[in-house]
Protein backbone atom coordinates (compact mmCIF):
# COMPACT_ATOMS: atom_id res chain seq x y z
CA UNK A 1 0.00 0.00 0.00
CA UNK A 2 1.50 3.33 -1.09
CA UNK A 3 0.45 6.12 1.22
CA UNK A 4 2.15 8.72 -0.96
CA UNK A 5 1.82 8.56 -4.73
CA UNK A 6 3.66 10.82 -7.14
CA UNK A 7 3.07 11.40 -10.81
CA UNK A 8 4.61 11.27 -13.24
CA UNK A 9 7.43 8.87 -12.32
CA UNK A 10 9.62 10.29 -15.07
CA UNK A 11 9.39 13.62 -16.82
CA UNK A 12 11.45 15.00 -19.69
CA UNK A 13 11.06 18.66 -20.56
CA UNK A 14 12.66 21.22 -22.81
CA UNK A 15 14.42 24.16 -21.24
CA UNK A 16 11.94 26.93 -20.53
CA UNK A 17 8.91 24.71 -20.12
CA UNK A 18 6.51 24.96 -17.20
CA UNK A 19 6.63 21.77 -15.14
CA UNK A 20 4.11 20.26 -12.76
CA UNK A 21 4.73 17.32 -10.45
CA UNK A 22 1.83 15.89 -8.49
CA UNK A 23 1.58 14.22 -5.10
CA UNK A 24 -1.44 12.46 -3.64
CA UNK A 25 -1.58 10.95 -0.19
CA UNK A 26 -4.04 8.82 1.69
CA UNK A 27 -3.33 9.63 5.34
CA UNK A 28 -4.17 12.66 7.45
CA UNK A 29 -1.16 14.90 7.62
CA UNK A 30 0.35 17.70 9.66
CA UNK A 31 2.57 18.92 6.85
CA UNK A 32 3.94 18.02 3.44
CA UNK A 33 7.51 18.40 2.27
CA UNK A 34 8.91 18.74 -1.21
CA UNK A 35 12.51 17.60 -1.46
CA UNK A 36 15.06 17.60 -4.25
CA UNK A 37 17.52 14.74 -4.62
CA UNK A 38 20.55 15.39 -6.79
CA UNK A 39 22.22 12.71 -8.94
CA UNK A 40 24.91 12.30 -6.29
CA UNK A 41 22.23 11.37 -3.76
CA UNK A 42 22.08 14.44 -1.51
CA UNK A 43 18.65 15.67 -0.42
CA UNK A 44 17.68 19.31 -0.19
CA UNK A 45 14.47 20.53 1.39
CA UNK A 46 12.54 22.81 -0.95
CA UNK A 47 9.29 23.46 0.89
CA UNK A 48 7.33 22.47 3.92
CA UNK A 49 3.67 23.40 3.78
CA UNK A 50 0.46 22.62 5.58
CA UNK A 51 -1.93 24.84 3.65
CA UNK A 52 -2.17 27.12 0.65
CA UNK A 53 0.79 27.97 -1.47
CA UNK A 54 4.48 28.81 -1.14
CA UNK A 55 6.85 30.32 -3.67
CA UNK A 56 10.61 30.40 -3.79
CA UNK A 57 12.21 31.75 -6.92
CA UNK A 58 10.95 29.68 -9.85
CA UNK A 59 9.43 27.04 -7.61
CA UNK A 60 5.83 27.06 -6.42
CA UNK A 61 4.22 24.48 -4.16
CA UNK A 62 0.51 24.20 -3.50
CA UNK A 63 -1.50 21.93 -1.25
CA UNK A 64 -5.20 21.08 -1.01
CA UNK A 65 -5.73 19.42 2.35
CA UNK A 66 -9.35 18.44 1.60
CA UNK A 67 -8.35 16.68 -1.61
CA UNK A 68 -5.13 15.28 -0.11
CA UNK A 69 -3.13 16.59 -3.03
CA UNK A 70 -0.10 18.78 -3.59
CA UNK A 71 1.66 20.06 -6.68
CA UNK A 72 5.15 21.34 -7.29
CA UNK A 73 5.54 23.72 -10.20
CA UNK A 74 8.76 24.87 -11.84
CA UNK A 75 8.53 27.91 -14.11
CA UNK A 76 11.06 28.57 -16.88
CA UNK A 77 12.74 25.20 -16.31
CA UNK A 78 16.49 24.89 -16.74
CA UNK A 79 18.82 21.89 -17.16
CA UNK A 80 20.13 22.50 -13.65
CA UNK A 81 16.62 21.65 -12.36
CA UNK A 82 17.25 18.05 -13.44
CA UNK A 83 16.92 15.95 -10.30
CA UNK A 84 14.52 13.64 -8.49
CA UNK A 85 11.72 15.52 -6.73
CA UNK A 86 10.31 13.78 -3.70
CA UNK A 87 7.07 14.40 -1.86
CA UNK A 88 7.04 13.40 1.82
CA UNK A 89 4.22 13.74 4.32
CA UNK A 90 4.26 14.08 8.07
CA UNK A 91 1.32 12.04 9.36
CA UNK A 92 -0.97 13.39 12.02
CA UNK A 93 0.34 12.19 15.33
CA UNK A 94 -2.01 11.07 18.01
CA UNK A 95 0.18 11.37 21.04
CA UNK A 96 3.80 10.91 20.14
CA UNK A 97 6.21 13.75 20.39
CA UNK A 98 7.88 13.18 17.09
CA UNK A 99 6.74 12.26 13.66
CA UNK A 100 8.36 10.46 10.83
CA UNK A 101 8.15 11.38 7.18
CA UNK A 102 6.50 9.02 4.70
CA UNK A 103 8.10 9.42 1.31
CA UNK A 104 6.87 9.05 -2.22
CA UNK A 105 8.98 7.23 -4.79
CA UNK A 106 10.02 10.46 -6.44
CA UNK A 107 9.66 12.01 -9.87
CA UNK A 108 12.78 11.98 -12.02
CA UNK A 109 12.94 15.24 -13.97
CA UNK A 110 15.26 15.75 -16.90
CA UNK A 111 15.36 19.17 -18.53
CA UNK A 112 17.01 19.22 -21.95
CA UNK A 113 18.76 22.34 -23.27
Partner 1 sequence: EPEVTQTPSHQVTQMGQEVILRCVPISNHLYFYWYRQILGQKVEFLVSFYNNEISEKSEIFDDQFSVERPDGSNFTLKIRSTKLEDSAMYFCASSEPSGRLSEQFFGPGTRLTVL
Residues that bind partner 1 (CB under 8 A): 30-31, 33, 35, 40-45, 48, 50, 86, 88, 90, 93, 96-106
Burial of 2 (0-12, 13-18, 19+ CB in 10 A): exposed
CB 74 to partner 1: min, Å: 20
C-beta of 33 vs 77, nearer to partner 1: 33
C-beta of 42 vs 113, nearer to partner 1: 42
C-beta of 75 vs 100, nearer to partner 1: 100
Q: How far is CA 21 from CA 55, 63, 86, 95, 108, in A?
A: 15, 12, 9, 32, 10
Q: By the 8 A CB rule, do 75 and 92 touch?
A: no
CB 37 to partner 1: min, Å: 8
CB 58 to partner 1: min, Å: 19
C-beta of 77 vs 84, nearer to partner 1: 84
CB 53 to partner 1: min, Å: 16
Amino acid sequence: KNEVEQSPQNLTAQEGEFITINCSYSVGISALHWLQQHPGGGIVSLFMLSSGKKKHGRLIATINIQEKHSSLHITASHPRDSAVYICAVLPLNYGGSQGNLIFGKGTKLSVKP
